[in-house]
Amino acid sequence: MEIVLFVLAGMAIATLIYGIMIYNNLVRLKHSVTQAWSNIDVLLKQRHDELPKLVETCKQYMKFEQETLERVMLARSAVASARQQGDIGAVGNAESALRLGLGNLFAVAENYPDLKANDNFLHLQSRITGLENSIADRREFYNESVNNNNVRIEQFPDILLASRFNFKAAELLEFDEEETRDVNVGTLFG
């Protein structure tokens, strides 16, 4: 009888330890998603701070392109609003509009040789392009973290603890088709 109790106690302890390990892994994944989003948020804020400088520099040269500049600033506001609300889907949509606007702005800038030669414009263009590349890298890492989290909370036996302790699926950061489509430079000058 003592052996049976000893075996049952051993199984209970092993089950408890296994449950603790699952719980700790779920917590780690949840915080990995949060950290990955924070990394993106920092880059979005940095770009948010750079865009007004870029638009002001462009305004000095692009007198007839106010609509392009306004679209960039409206998209910038939409990204900031979505970030503040923590709405990942809205961030993705606003990011798509902003990236399209920036692509148009840089394409239209080709029509202004003085602007293209301006050191401030070149610095800001380089800085924003670098931030865009960093955002793309961080977006990939964020989506990988989200995917790992979402798969794990749906797997058995993890789902038992995930549902019990209210672990939630996270939302992927996706951009619209506009993001991957080439800018039609011909329509910009037509």
Residue 46 is part of a domain; what is its CATH number?
Answer: 1.20.1440.20
- pLDDT tens string 90-118: 888 888 888 888 888 888 888 888 887 88
Q: Does a structural domain hold residue 3? A: no
Q: Would residue 172 count as lying in a domain?
A: yes
pLDDT digits (tens, 9 = 90+) for 19-47: 999 999 999 999 999 999 999 999 999 99
pLDDT at 122 over 80: yes
Range of the domain at 72: 34-179
- Closest Cα partner for 80 from 97, 67, 66? 97
Q: Does 6 reside within a domain?
A: no
pLDDT tens column, 142-175: 999 999 999 999 999 999 999 999 999 999 988 7
The closest alpha carbon to 98, from 69, 121, 72, belongs to 72
What's the predicted TM-score (pTM) here?
Answer: 0.77
* Among the listed residues 26, 14, 34, the one whose alpha carbon sits nearest the alpha carbon of residue 154: 26
- The answer to whether the beta carbons of residues 113 and 60 sit under 8 Å apart is no
Average pLDDT, the chain: 86
Residue 28 is assigned to a structural domain of this protein: no
Q: Does 148 fall in a domain?
A: yes
Contact indicator for 125, 102 with CB cutoff of 8 Å: no
For the chain, how many structural domains are there in total?
A: 1
Query: Does 185 map to a domain?
Result: no
